[in-house]
Chain A
Amino acid sequence: MKERTLLLGNGPVAWGIAKALLSGNVPVVLVTPDTATSVDTDDPSPLFEVRTETRVSHCTGSAGNFQVILSSPHDTPPLTFANIVIAEDGIQSPLFSLYGLSASPTVLSLSGIRNILASPLASGQALTPGKTAVFIVGLAGESYPHMVETAMESCLKLQKNLGMKTIILTRNLKVGASGLEALYRQTREAGVVYVKFSDTLPTFQQDVEGKVNIAFVDDITRMPFTAEADITVVDDAIAPSPYLKDLSRIFCLDTDSVGYIQPDNVHRLSVFTNRKGILAAGASRGMLSPSAQRAEIRETAVTLFSLTKGTLTTPGNKAEIDAGACVRCLTCFRLCPYHAITLNTRPVVMTDACERCGMCAAECPAKAIRIEDLRIQAISERLRPIPRRDNTDSFTPFLVAFCCSRSAGRAKELATLSGLSFPERLSIVEVPCSGSISAEYLLAAFQHQADGVLVFTCHEGNCHSERGNILAARRTAHLKNMLKQIGIDPNRLLLKTLASNMAAEFAETARKFEKQMAEAGPLGINL
């Protein structure tokens, strides 16, 4: 069963994905460290298998052929999976201590009050008419719409059904989700009081009986106020599952600053990771609302079907390592952002996972790696100088621009469509990623009589290969230094970051550079 998927998680997102995949006849093995499943597993499908009390301990291989070792009470041999989906739930924990409060029958968490109000017998000594409930939402950190929604719905029930007074203390009321502004108006009409803070924050004093005294300066009137809360409700902090740390290490996945398995890079939207065949969904890839998490189930399924069909494979020549020239320094292995290089007795490229970024070929100290159409000979052939027009006496510099095909390549196309003008003698070399632009490329451009060379990369944080732009910038800086040492004006080499929709900047940068090089005159040196 080579086409089966390893699904990690035990929450609603993981189970939803399991169902969606099974309905598409994709075999699934659901694996969780939990002792029991969160849903009854009476699914008789021969395509479905569940393993509880099981963690992932090791993974090799690539998309279509991952070899995964699972650690569980019973020793298991490595299993083969075509794809892997990480859909671990997040951790929600009340922020009592951040406000100097401690949990008690009258100091509750947001999920606590929701559960109480969900039961038909929602009353108690504190939940009686006339008493005051104060909700603390987004004072320690900025809140999230679905938490605000829980707070507003709880207040509405307390006001309407139980005749209580309710106050919501917040900084920025997060109403950016379906129906929340309308719900907000409804709560206001029902008598819910909102106190918003911009610069100051309230202080809280919890007495032995569990009442909380609140002192604050009102933002609108700038007057000091106090309030006594019979019931205090504190919002939750949301954090990624600690297990994600292990998983990101085992599967070599990039994470964001918080620890979710997906860096803040638009190229990974919606459920992609840096590795082909490994997807991250729901609370494994970021802080998502429950409705977004539900949408994520379907999105993950459709992405997985495409992966299974092989329609997400990058076409073109892939990296090849010359076994004879390789000195096994492992530079490529460490560098590859897609983790497409595996170690056998020597580094081997997993062709399907290679995205042709060319970072390995550009950085290999032994020059043992090549991507056929990105070889220096192939690039040199694309560098034929554009002859000068005969009828002018003035000097028109010959320029070469190396462009990432995802950003500057598209910007150039857009600029052409928009009728923007370019330098007359500009030769454009598109490469899959600026990470492939080696010092050799840049020198080759000068060797082909370029008077100036431009390097266009993506903005930091927008590189499909995560670090290709950073490596290109480093190499460019290094080469500028070299040029200076051999007496060439380093300004003849220019690096600029650009996005695919920056047509105007592309044209303007090229024109400005042309003017600058025209003033500098012909390079006139044969490197």
Chain B
Amino acid sequence: MKQIMVIGGGISGLCAAVDLARLGVVVDLVENSGSLGGHAAQLSCKAADRCVACGACMVEEKIRQATGDANIRVHLNADVDKVDRQKRFEVTLKQDRKMQHIEVDAVLMASGFAPFHPANKPYGYGRFENVMTTLELDRMLRRSGTVKRPSDAAFPRNMAFIQCVGSRDSTLGHLWCSKICCGAALRMARCIQNRQPGMEATFFYIDVQNFGKNFQAYYADTRQQVRMIRSIPADVLKTADDRLNLSYFDPDTQAYQEAVFDMVILSIGLMPSESTRNLAAMLNVDMDGFDYARKETVLLPEGVFAAGTVLEPMSIAESVLSAGKAASDIFRYLETSSQI
């Protein structure tokens, strides 16, 4: 019986585990938090009057499939502590200060991304309560179904969505587009407009990236609902009446303009995570391979595979595909290595 370890219980890890388990492979699914689902399980449904195919709901079904599969053993609150590479991988898992040794034939890195922390950006994050990240807004929508200002629990009359916070940023050395933020922000803006009619949304951007199968039509329609300003704001300041004053260079008037919003949402970028760095060291993988700015595919040692946002920014749909590819590669590896 072939056995593999999937490190990371987010959407990619879940999908790969389910795919492999279906093919008769025994999977140890290792997740360092207390629950499966990763970032995807924190996202809300963004359907307005109909489904916008964001894919967030898929994770619930994948969790159900993974936990119900006899070939998958889930290890929650578990960290990979050590990896010894003999003929197989001897992995030491640390779980509640207990150590456990598991031998596997292959390892899948599906440890995901780290969200960019925007504290050093001039947008008042961490200082002004009503400045939130897209991830926080997603969690709020998921938790309560509506959006209220954290400072006074009032429904916002208008919201600004600032793109590329921590992405496409040469001063940070982040020479990558995080790919999913345009879709996440615009879908959320329209979802909120649908649930809280009258909410005016303004979208500050550099270039709108494609998302979803139906992008052309959705984007054309969105331009009628959301005010699009091709400019990245300079700063955000709090007004005396607890609103947020945002200054930006306005391409229409060729001048710096100010606008006041009830809430400001920062589309924070995706970054390679620290846990990936640790994991890469243990697996003898060159961390440069996980630099999001690169173009080349990651070179991995024999028996080590990677899927999902550990590789580069990806949507949920792309993570599912990435996981399927990895599962297929692993399956082929297990078949060929067993013949030797």
Contact = CB atoms under 8 A, between A and B. Distances in A.
Interface string A281-322: 000001100001001101101110110010110000000000
A224 interface: no
A264 B53 contact: yes
Given A176-B177, A298-B328, A499 B47 contact: yes
Interface of A: 20, 23-24, 141-142, 144-145, 172-183, 185, 196, 198, 219-222, 256-257, 260, 264-266, 269-271, 286-287, 292, 295-296, 298-299, 301-303, 305-306, 309, 311-312, 406-407, 410, 414, 458-462, 497, 499-505, 508
B113 to A, nearest CB: 15
Q: Looking at B41, B230, B254, B329, which has the most chain A CB atoms within 10 Å of its CB? A: B230
Contacts of A220: 251
B331 A302 contact: yes
Contacts of A24: 332, 335
Contacts of A256: 213-214
B151 interface: no
A460 B209 contact: no
Contact of B210 (A144, A219, A301, A303): A144
Given A172-B207, A504-B143, A459 B51 contact: yes
B285 interface: no
B145 interface: yes
Given A142-B216, A220-B251, A500-B60, A178 B209 contact: no
Contacts of B332: 20, 23-24
A222 B214 CA distance: 32
B53 A461 contact: yes
A77 to B, nearest CB: 34
Q: Looking at A173, A271, A305, which has the most chain B CB atoms within 10 Å of its CB? A: A305
A301 B143 CA distance: 38
B30 interface: no
A179 B317 CA distance: 20
Nearest to A25: B335
Interface string B289-302: 00001111000000
30 contacts: A24-B335, A142-B216, A174-B209, A175-B207, A176-B182, A176-B210, A177-B179, A179-B296, A181-B176, A182-B295, A185-B175, A219-B251, A222-B251, A256-B213, A264-B212, A269-B58, A286-B213, A292-B321, A296-B325, A299-B324, A302-B325, A306-B19, A306-B23, A309-B23, A407-B57, A460-B49, A461-B50, A499-B51, A499-B56, A499-B57
A508 B145 contact: yes
B74 interface: no
Contacts, number: 185
Q: Looking at B145, B206, B313, which has the most chain A CB atoms within 10 Å of its CB? A: B145
B142 interface: yes
A222 B228 CA distance: 17
Interface string B139-162: 000111100000000000000000
B51 A175 contact: no
A414 B60 contact: yes
Q: Which 6 A-B pairs have CB atoms at the shortest separation, nearest pair first? A: A179-B295, A299-B324, A298-B328, A499-B45, A462-B51, A302-B328
Contact of A270 (B182, B219, B320): B320
